[in-house]
Chains A and B, each alone.
Chain A
Amino acid sequence: MYSLRLWSVRHARLLESVYRIGNPLIVATLRGAARVFGRHIDRPVTAIERAAKGLMFDCRMCGDCQLSRTGMSCPMNCPKTLRNGPCGGVRENGMCEVRPDMACVWVQAWRGAALMKHGGAIRDLAAAVDHRRFGTSSWLRMARDD
């Protein structure tokens, strides 16, 4: 949801803390669950991740989550799906050149990163996305160390 997506960026510092505590918990739980139930957990876990991150960040399930280094602004919402934005076409009011009614995902990302404790990670180079991972869970990938 667009308004929640903007809220997430405004509260990037809070979400960063939640992530730093919550992520190891989720990964540890999934690691245990995967040991017992194997691949049976994939569909429900993917559905939960899609629902939760879809609501908060308009997550596109690229399978290689960058939120913690992009100021809690999902780069896959950029119409050009840039992983190292922004492009040179940002409007003077900070809106997207392709969708003038949407705030530039990368203007938001730099804003969110400035609020975060470890926001400097936005300056690191991001590799191109692996398209085979689309629609898969990045939580499970972390749990399985893929």
Chain B
Amino acid sequence: MTDPDANPIWHPGDPADPSLPLPILPGHVSPGRFERVLRAGLFAVTTELAPPDSADPADVLARARVFDGVIDAINATDGSGANCHMSSLGVCAILTRAGYSPILQVSCRDRNRIAIQGDILGAAALGVCSMLCLSGDDVSVGDHPEAKPVFDLDSISLLGTARVLRDEQRFLSGRRLDGAPRLFLGASINPFAPPAEARVFQLAKKIAAGAQFVQSQYCFDLVMARDFLSRARDMGLLERCFVIMGVGVLASAKTAKWLKSAIPGVHIPDETIRRLEQAEKPRAEGRKIAVELIQQLAEMPGVSGVHVMAYKQEDYVGEIVAASGVLGDRRPWSPAQHCEQRTCA
């Protein structure tokens, strides 16, 4: 895109410095580009960054750079799998300084409501515009099983807390804030885990609590996804929330079987596993499956984007998104493009 007028994300009031906050557009809650992409009706592509086991900011930027030009927002995970890594707030602070749009993942496992509210204010002050509220994996599955699980809040009361801070400009205690955190609020959904009949009500509860977008667990079963979305549409939920479906990149049939058995809540149909087993080049087949899933999800009514989770295969995300063609001629914002011209989305 060379014509700024043709770019629905760019706004004439936007500052030239990518680390400065953008103006909040009418009808928006955050100054972030991620909210702009979704509200402009564009198909969004997000991914997750595996935080480094290091204190070097260069390690974070190197991991972000592989997504340049294909990703609208980067989820910074918060001790995912209950394993210790650099904090999501630290990762986000580094990413916002470079101009990226990170999504701060906040889990309820490690911090109580005092710490979480402080972190939300800190994150917004550091330029974070989007936040994903999670319950979190239990400590028993991670590398510090002897740790004390906190779970003072759950994902739904966390959403409510963030909304109180933002919309009522106060702490849960009632004490007033001098400045509210302008955050676009999200939650996770897993339409593929039991109890199937409760999952759509769980989405409804998250929306009622404040979720404006949701990102799903790995979607390998399009029939289940379609069924879930049609029930959500019947309940009028899709007009109130952007649904971003999770897409996984499987390296082999062995990885798929491991994911299915070791990570509760991951549902992979036998047909997908068979396809990987029969493939001559399983890694390439795994990427092909991801491309096909992205294309089919993009066609599905009610899907506003995809969340590509390619753990240890991050280098292929660009290739997979490009092959899917879902971005059309749109090039999401990246620091390199920003230097060339101010017209990228």
A residues at B contact (CB < 8 Å): 79-92, 94, 97-98, 104, 106-107, 110-111, 114, 122-123, 125-128, 131
Contacts and interface: CB of A to CB of B under 8 A. Distances in A.
B188 A88 contact: yes
Given A94-B194, A98-B141, A87 B135 contact: yes
B269 to A, nearest CB: 12
A87 B188 CA distance: 9
Q: Which of B113, B157, B264, B265 has the most CB of A within 10 A?
A: B264
A79 B138 contact: yes
Nearest to A107: B195
B201 to A, nearest CB: 5
Contact of B189 (A84, A88, A94): A88
Interface string B200-229: 011011001100000001000000000000
Contacts of B3: none
B198 interface: yes
Contacts of A110: 195, 197-198
Contacts of B156: 83-84, 125-126
- Secondary structure of the A side of the interface? loop
Interface in B220-276: 263-265, 267
A117 B205 CA distance: 20
A119 to B, nearest CB: 11
B31 interface: no
A128 B195 contact: no
B201 A123 contact: yes
A128 B202 CA distance: 16
Nearest to A111: B195
B260 to A, nearest CB: 9
Given A80-B154, A110-B197, A110-B198, A98 B140 contact: yes
A32 B189 CA distance: 47
Contacts of B113: 128
Contact of A125 (B109, B140, B209): B209
B138 A81 contact: no
Which 8 pairs of residues, A with B, have the shortest CB-CB distance?
Answer: A88-B190, A97-B264, A84-B156, A128-B157, A89-B264, A89-B265, A110-B198, A98-B138
A97 B155 contact: no
A131 B151 CA distance: 12
Contact of B193 (A80, A89, A114, A122): A89
Nearest to B208: A125
A106 B204 CA distance: 16
Contacts of A131: 152
Interface string B18-62: 000000000000000000000000000000000000000000000
A92 B155 CA distance: 22
Contacts of A106: 195, 198
Contacts of B189: 88
A92 B194 contact: yes
Contacts of B149: 79-80
Contact of A128 (B152, B198, B201, B208): B152
A54 B261 CA distance: 33
Contacts of B108: 80
B102 interface: no
B138 A80 contact: yes
